[in-house]
Structure 1
């Protein structure tokens, strides 16, 4: 996987940020945060981000599943320092959307994560207008002309 574009490593490119604590149990035999823990830390931030969009925690909500999740490891993570995870929408499709995230620790980008979520209820016919508006309000601040803005 090629190194991410510089804007993907910049916390200011993302509309949402969250501090997530690391755990001693996240460490591998070498004393670094293991790959599975990286994915779990990103998952925590991603789920909280989705809930803020308003459709997942309502009675009229819909179901969506993760269709793809890719983590790009850039540097080692450590315990006990917290990580800061910035999250934003990379792309909105007809029935799916991409969530992009970057993880920083001690002021350095240590990983990125790209996740595609897909609606599972065919009755919806596509992303509902209110949810599409919520997603649009959380688009990443990518440079003009970048494919992430399409």
Structure 2
């Protein structure tokens, strides 16, 4: 399966091999007293950046960087403060120069938001896209979303 995942599907946290936990902060709230929609982009960014920038995983070779070129978010339920969240991430597609991530935010066992994003590998100097090597793809293998197998 190397197709885009349906953002309207009912995601399960166990489908996402990379996991983080965090707290909902009072500052995350908007005047409606729930987490503001823009904050979810930060939750998803935290998951991606924490994984990608950890050098032990070999996802960011010297002289290269990742930039996000697309982010789609599906808001599923209100998220309130105080509370904790569980974030999950899984690779759902490889392009020539890109990786697609499916991500979720769960609270109290319920998915409150899901997203799909595309990050492109670039040369830090030229700022031009760089093809994914087989080594980078192999290094992503532990983070494949359940059911994903590269073409």
Report the TM range for the smaller structure's normalisation: 0.7 to 0.9
Indicate if the aligned counterparts of 1:68 and 1:117 stay in contact, CA closer than 8 A.
yes
Q: Which position in structure 1 is the counterpart of 2:36?
A: 34
Kindly state the Cα deviation for residue 55 of structure 1 after the two structures are TM-superposed: 3.3
Alignment of 1:1-150 (within 5 A): 4-6=8-10, 9-52=11-54, 53-56=57-60, 60-121=62-123, 125-142=130-147, 149=149, 150=151
Report which of the two has the higher share of helix.
Answer: 1
Aligned residues of 2:21 and 2:86 also touching (Cα < 8 A): yes
Deviation at 1:115, TM superposition (A): 0.7
Which structure has the highest strand share of the two? 2
SS in 2 for 1:120: strand
Give the TM-score normalised by the residue count of structure 2. Answer: 0.83
Residue 61 of structure 1: how far off its partner (Å): 4.5
Q: Which moved more, 1:78-87 or 1:119-128?
A: 119-128
1:120 Cα offset (Å): 2.1
Structure 2 portions without partners, runs of 5+: 1-5
Q: Secondary structure at the match of 1:75?
A: coil
How many equivalent pairs are there? 140
2:3 maps to what in 1? Answer: none
TM-superposed deviation, 1:51: 2.3
